[in-house]
Structure 1
Amino acid sequence: MMRASFPATARLHCPSEYASALKGRRLARGALFVVMTPRDTGTEGMNASSPRLGMIIAKRFAPHAVTRNAIKRVLREAFRHKRHMLPGRDLVFRLHVRVEPSSLCELKRRVRAEADALLARAAQ
């Protein structure tokens, strides 16, 4: 059984990495998130070996820090479990709508369901 880990090499770090993904193409769109990837996926050395995750959770769409942190935590967990099935490219999840007030459990459930669906689309 493969170990589902989330090392530092599986994350985007530099603003330039985020910028190249945002200038790239849209892989999938859901009710809450848009998933972007760079157009030139084979040019960077890290991209060819394993997928990497980036998240843009803006304060204007999720004004409370608790909400933003919960969203990020759920996205990381979904990515960690599906990472072995994904192609070796950068994926940036961007929250594109304001999160309406609801319980944290309900929000986490919605985010996880959408993250799993979007990652399944990205794996194709």
Structure 2
Amino acid sequence: MSSANYPKEARLHRPSEFANVFANRRVTRGALFTLHYCPNQLEIARLGLVIAKKNASRSVTRNTIKRVVRDVFRHRRLQLSHKDYVIRLHRHVTPCSLRELRKIVRADVEPLFDQWLA
């Protein structure tokens, strides 16, 4: 299934790439997450994640959040507009089970990406 992969080309790697997205100041907000975006010159949508320790103190929580966000992006990647997207956790995550956390994250992130489907 080649459509549901997450290659290196679909990721933001350098701090300058993140800074470019943040400098553009285009933002969409959800309950927990902020989606920053800007057009890129590539023929591919790219994703960057900023999950701060101050908002998700446990590494298990941060890793689960990243895993779910990447999965949502991975399944929509080929239909998304050719932009650079950065998902940033802007609110503290209340302690809950990992199953509940996955549902909460998916419910908040999916609508942010769905508005950019081509």
TM category (shorter chain) comes to over 0.9
Q: Of residues 82, 95, 107 in structure 1, which corresponds to 2:101? A: 107
Cα distance per residue 1:79-99 (max 9 Å; x no partner): 000111101110000000000
1:13 correspondence with 2:13: yes
CA distance in 1, matches of 2:36, 2:117: 13
For residue 28 of structure 1, give the secondary structure of its aligned residue in structure 2. strand
Compute the TM-score of the two structures, normalised by the length of structure 1.
0.89
Cα offset for 1:16?
0.3
Cα offset for 1:4?
1.1
CA contact under 8 A between 2:55 and 2:90: conserved in structure 1?
yes
Compute the TM-score of the two structures, normalised by the length of structure 2.
0.93
Match of 2:79 in 1: 85
Structure 1 segments unaligned to the other structure (5+ residues): none
Match of 1:29 in 2: 29
Alignment of 1:60-99 (within 5 A): 60-99=54-93
Percentage of pairs with the same residue:
46
RMSD value, Cα? 1.5
CA contact under 8 A between 2:3 and 2:75: conserved in structure 1?
no
- After the TM superposition, list the runs of 4 or more consecutive aligned residues in structure 1 that deviate by more than 4 angstroms: none
Cα distance per residue 1:4-52 (max 9 Å; x no partner): 11000000000000011111133411001000113xx24x4xxx30000
Task: Count residues in correspondence.
Answer: 118
Q: Of residues 99, 112, 118 in structure 2, which corresponds to 1:118? A: 112
